[in-house]
């Protein structure tokens, strides 16, 4: 298992989407949202209109470029030997990796030279003379692994094989010039074998042939210690090599705990860190002796799963953990870093993230996450206990009228707590109580996954929409991760069921709390959030004034019938938690939860954004709902981006889609918007349907001769 920057990162197979964005306790819980009616009064409408008009004159319109263009700099990472600093910054308008002396940020230079999609996923090799990065082609997620030799500037493709999705398996300071990489280069591309790859020469040696597992757990000695796969009922099982070329079962985890329990890397002595919800609700951190099976509890929290681990870079013992219910909470396990954390809490406002550490642990890079400003990066010297400011990701944001993000806990009708985040337009909350002086148009922003979560922090979509005059609400509906196994399991087979009712309860809460005008509510999201948008417009067609769907599946049948090949080992989980597309009963159920088959119910305007190369939610998902709506003469606007996948990575495309989105929302919610103008410059997309239905879209298209 790959551990980087001394942090154990909990990954999800069904990834969330960054195209639309999102991010405690404190909200009133007295109203019974399940019984609240969705209605409003003419007086409230008049007050809301007055408030919007006042805002137009008092708060400047922030250009969307400030939110969706490239950052000035991002992702500061110190080299293992402490001599160099790497970061992401634009080169001729495209994000690339830059490197320079740790003591002189002015001397950084670009070491990658991508001119198309950008390089954003990188880390230091333990040589401190090489960087490793991953990149695909136009969002197809067929990632290759590349190394950059900082002495020669040579860039080498370490996985030069067509049609593969390579993934990092392990990086160890014990083998500075080698890494372990998973490569699915066999026929069918379903299984990843483990290779040992020399980052200098590119030489590749097979370490472990995959006989049918989802993945492997390896250690710092590059030994394969365990394999992991999923059982037919959606649980998971860990297996050990038996020493005779076969595997024996070591640990089986039932489906009820499978999303919140798992092995997560080794300490120096060879014991494993175990995230464990068995016999409890939330995932605690334990240390597991693989030989004796003895478990030692290290940290737990009653309300939240473990969300992060900080381990020593060479000794590998856990020094601190974090739990995130509504806001991140630290728990120190190693007193030697308590003074460091206490000092850093005084350096800057915001939540602390330790993003990299030197091998001798003398230098850290630290990011401070804010809700109303850019990320700030510091280089922290532990011996001097002094933090040196490096840069902020977007300095231009620091002087703009950005808004705060308020944490709310909204009760669902069956008693579950929905941790949510609310942003209000500047000047609409004079009392500072997270409630506007009069109800506002609302955008319900639904996160992807669904096995992901919204969190507190700076969110460009929240900020853009709040600046345009909308309240913005992000809801951790059931199935969202981080709140214990009961919360995750409550979403099983509840797509378009109770998961949607959670969103409806949040809407009712917003109306009851006078946050929202009931006649001007939009639903918007990406991936699962896009699906939730389609569900909102088909299952509850009277509730939302309009919807914005980004790469959302329209049919659960076609979603499950067309997964990427490397998802096949995960499909038992999808069958259990979404539905079984291989049985007649299961297909009928999935059809009943698919917006495609209810397209004739849509009454309100819909905007769809889709990446043509999306391997997860394929283009057919957008095509078929658009065709069904057109067949019923129901208006829909459809933007298809030819060089994007599951979300929009290129800033030109992000700007183009958000320009159309804010014009679309203004048309149907009454907010303000920045005209499209020349925003389409450099974007690559077509509008197969509905160009006349968004203010300024058809005119902007007519001025573009280079659009495909």
- Give the H or E element holding residue 263: strand 262-266
pLDDT of residue 55: 58
Give the tens place of pLDDT for each residue, 367-390.
999 999 999 999 999 999 999 999
pLDDT at 49 over 70: no
Q: Is there a contact between 240 and 291 (Cβ–Cβ < 8 Å)?
A: no
- For residues 566 and 184, the answer to whether their CB atoms sit within 8 Å is yes
Distance CA 681, CA 105 (A): 32
Query: Measured between alpha carbons, how far is 498 from 494 in angstroms, rounded to an integer?
Result: 5
Q: Within a 10 A sphere around the Cβ of 588, how many other Cβ atoms?
A: 11
- Side-by-side strand order, sheet with 215-218: 215-218, 224-230, 236-241, 247-253
Q: Is 26 helix (H, G, I), strand (E, B) or coil?
A: coil
Q: What is the pTM of this model?
A: 0.91
| Spatial separation of the C-alpha atoms in residues 319 and 6, rounded to whole Å | 10
pLDDT class for 650, splitting at 50, 70, 90? very high
Taking 90 as the threshold, does the pLDDT of residue 274 lie above it?
yes
Residue 554 makes CB contacts below 8 A (sequence gap 6+) with 531, 534, 594, 595, 596, 621, 622, 624, 625
Q: Tens digit of pLDDT for each residue in 626-649?
A: 999 999 999 999 999 999 999 999
Residue 8 confidence (pLDDT): 28
Nearest Cα to Cα of residue 165 among 564, 604, 636: 564
Place of tokens 């372990």: 180
Rounded to an integer, what is the distance from CA 162 to the centroid of its chain?
Answer: 27
pLDDT category of residue 43 using cuts at 50, 70 and 90? very low
Give the whole-angstrom CA distance, residue 105 versus residue 92.
19
| pLDDT value at residue 52 | 55
Name the band, by pLDDT with cuts 50, 70 and 90, for residue 58: confident
In this predicted structure, the answer to whether residue 28 has a pLDDT above a threshold of 70 is: no
Q: Is the pLDDT of residue 456 over 80?
A: yes
The mean of the pLDDT values for the chain is 91
Give the tokens for residue 96.
């690339």
| Per-residue model confidence as pLDDT tens digits over 495-541 | 999 999 999 999 999 999 999 999 999 999 999 999 999 999 999 99
Instruction: Tell me which of 646, 668, 689, 691 is the catalytic residue.
Output: 646
The catalytic residue among 455, 527, 554, 555 is 527
User: 468 phi and psi, to 5 degrees?
Assistant: -85, 0
Q: Percent helix, strand, coil in the chain (nearest 5)?
A: 25, 30, 45
Q: Of 434, 543, 669, 603, which Cα lies nearest the Cα of 39?
A: 543
Query: Percent of the chain, pLDDT > 70?
Result: 91
- Predicted pLDDT at 30: 28
| H/E run at residue 502 | helix 498-512
pLDDT, tens only, 210-232: 999 999 999 999 999 999 999 99
* pLDDT given at position 72: 97
Confidence category of residue 550, pLDDT binned at 50, 70, 90: very high
Q: What is the DSSP string of 459-500?
A: -HHHHHHHHTT-EEEEE--TT-SSS-HHHHHTTTT-TTTHHH
User: How many other CB atoms are there within 10 angstroms of residue 411's CB atom?
Assistant: 20
pLDDT at 705: 56
Dihedral (Cα; 370, 372, 378, 380), 10-degree rounding:
-40
Cα separation of 107 and 332, whole Å? 36
Give the span between the Cα atoms of 304 and 484, in whole angstroms. Answer: 6
Return the pLDDT at 110.
98
Query: Is 646 labeled as catalytic in the residue annotation?
Result: yes
Angle at 639 between CA 134 and CA 423, to 5 degrees: 75
β-pair partners for 8: 309
Q: What is the pLDDT of residues 663-701, one digit of tens each?
A: 999 999 999 999 999 999 999 999 999 999 999 999 999
Give the pLDDT score at 31: 28
Predicted local confidence at residue 171, as pLDDT = 97
30 vs 12: CA distance, rounded Å: 35
Six-digit token string for 643:
């060089």
Measured between alpha carbons, how far apart are the two ends of the chain, in Å?
43
What pLDDT, on a 0 to 100 scale, did the predictor assign at position 75?
A: 97
Name the catalytic one among 554, 614, 668, 691.
Answer: 614
Beta bridge partners of 356: 365
Local structure of 184: helix, strand or coil: coil
CA distance 629 to 606: 10
pLDDT tens-digit map of 407-438: 999 999 999 999 999 999 999 999 999 999 99
C-alpha–C-alpha distance, residues 202 and 633, integer Å = 56
192 catalytic, yes or no? no
Residue 58 contacts residue 401 (beta carbons within 8 Å): no
* pLDDT of 570 over the 70 cut: yes
Higher pLDDT, 705 or 454: 454
Whether residue 10 is predicted with pLDDT greater than 80 in this model: the reply is no
Question: Which tokens go with 353?
Answer: 């993230």
Q: Is the pLDDT confidence value at 21 over 60? A: no
Q: pLDDT digits over 111-162, tens only?
A: 999 999 999 999 999 999 999 999 999 999 999 999 999 999 999 999 999 9
Residue 29 has pLDDT above 90, yes or no: no
Q: Is 527 a catalytic residue?
A: yes
- The single residue listed with the structure tokens 């074998």 is 193
pLDDT number for residue 51? 52
Question: What is the pLDDT, as a whole number, of residue 421?
Answer: 98
Q: 462 in the Ramachandran plot: left (φ > 0), alpha (ψ -120 to 50) or beta?
A: alpha
Q: What's the pLDDT at 703? A: 82
Helices (H), 191-266: none
Tokens 């902020």 found at = 392
By CB atoms closer than 10 A (0-12, 13-18, 19+), residue 491 is buried
């Amino acid at each position: 298992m790959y551990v980087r920057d001394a942090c154990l990162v909990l990954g999800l197979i069904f990834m969330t989407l960054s195209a639309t964005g999102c991010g405690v306790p404190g909200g009133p819980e007295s109203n019974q949202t399940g019984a609240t009616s969705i209605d409003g009064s003419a007086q409230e409408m008049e007050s809301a209109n007055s408030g919007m008009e006042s805002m137009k004159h008092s708060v400047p319109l922030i250009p969307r470029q400030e939110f969706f263009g490239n950052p000035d700099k991002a992702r500061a990472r110190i080299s293992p030997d402490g001599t160099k600093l790497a970061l992401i910054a634009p080169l001729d308008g495209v994000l690339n990796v830059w490197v320079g002396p740790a003591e002189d940020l002015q001397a950084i230079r670009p070491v990658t030279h991508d001119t198309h999609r950008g390089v954003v996923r990188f880390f230091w090799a333990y040589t401190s003379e090489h960087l490793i990065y991953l990149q695909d082609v136009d969002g197809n997620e067929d990632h290759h692994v590349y190394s950059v030799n900082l002495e020669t500037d040579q860039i080498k493709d370490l996985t030069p094989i067509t049609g593969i999705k390579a993934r990092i398996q392990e990086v160890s300071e014990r083998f500075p010039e080698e890494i372990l990489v998973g490569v699915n280069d066999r026929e069918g591309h379903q299984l990843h074998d483990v290779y040992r790859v020399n980052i200098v020469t590119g030489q590749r040696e097979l370490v472990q042939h995959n006989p049918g597992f989802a993945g492997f757990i390896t250690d710092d000695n590059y030994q394969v210690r365990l394999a992991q796969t999923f059982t037919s009922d959606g649980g998971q099982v860990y297996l050990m090599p038996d020493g005779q070329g076969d595997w024996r079962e070591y640990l089986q985890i039932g489906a009820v705990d499978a999303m919140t329990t798992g092995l997560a890397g080794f300490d120096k002595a060879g014991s494993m860190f175990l995230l464990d919800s068995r016999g409890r609700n939330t995932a605690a951190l334990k240390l597991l002796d693989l030989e004796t099976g003895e478990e030692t509890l290290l940290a737990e929290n009653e309300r939240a799963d473990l969300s992060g681990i900080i381990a020593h870079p060479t000794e590998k013992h856990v020094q601190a953990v974090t739990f995130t219910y509504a806001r991140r909470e630290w728990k120190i396990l190693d007193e030697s870093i308590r003074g460091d954390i206490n000092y850093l809490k005084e350096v800057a406002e915001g939540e602390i993230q330790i993003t990299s550490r030197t091998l001798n642990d003398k230098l850290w890079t630290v990011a401070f996450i804010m809700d109303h400003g850019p990320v700030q990066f510091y280089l922290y010297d532990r011996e001097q206990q002094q933090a040196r400011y490096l840069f902020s990701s977007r300095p231009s944001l620091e002087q703009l009228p950005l808004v705060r993000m308020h944490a709310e806990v909204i009760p669902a009708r069956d008693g579950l707590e929905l941790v949510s985040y609310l942003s209000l337009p500047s000047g609409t909350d004079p009392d500072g109580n997270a409630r506007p002086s009069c109800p506002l148009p609302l955008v319900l922003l639904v996160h992807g996954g669904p096995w992901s979560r919204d969190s507190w922090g700076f969110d460009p979509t929240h900020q853009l929409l709040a600046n345009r005059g909308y309240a913005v609400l992000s809801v951790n509906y059931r199935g969202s991760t981080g709140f214990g196994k009961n919360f995750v399991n409550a979403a099983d087979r509840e797509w378009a069921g109770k998961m949607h009712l959670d969103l409806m309860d949040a809407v009712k809460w917003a109306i009851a709390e006078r946050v929202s005008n009931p006649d001007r509510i939009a639903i918007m999201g990406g991936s699962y959030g896009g699906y939730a948008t389609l569900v909102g417009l088909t299952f509850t067609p009277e509730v939302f004034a309009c919807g914005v769907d980004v790469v959302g599946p329209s049919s659960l049948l076609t979603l499950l019938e067309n997964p990427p090949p490397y998802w096949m080992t995960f499909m038992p989980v999808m069958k259990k938690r979404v539905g079984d597309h291989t049985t007649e009963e299961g297909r009928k159920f999935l059809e009943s939860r698919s917006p495609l088959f209810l397209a004739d119910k849509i009454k309100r305007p819909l905007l769809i954004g889709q990446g043509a190369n999306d391997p997860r939610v394929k283009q057919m998902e957008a095509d078929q709902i658009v065709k069904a709506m057109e067949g019923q003469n129901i208006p829909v606007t459809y933007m298809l981006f030819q060089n994007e996948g599951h979300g929009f990575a290129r800033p030109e495309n992000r700007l183009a889609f958000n320009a159309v989105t804010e014009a679309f929302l203004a048309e149907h919610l009454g907010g303000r918007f920045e005209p499209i103008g020349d925003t389409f410059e450099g974007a690559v997309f077509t509008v197969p349907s509905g160009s006349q239905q968004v203010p300024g879209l058809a005119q902007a298209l007519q001025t573009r001769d280079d659009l495909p």
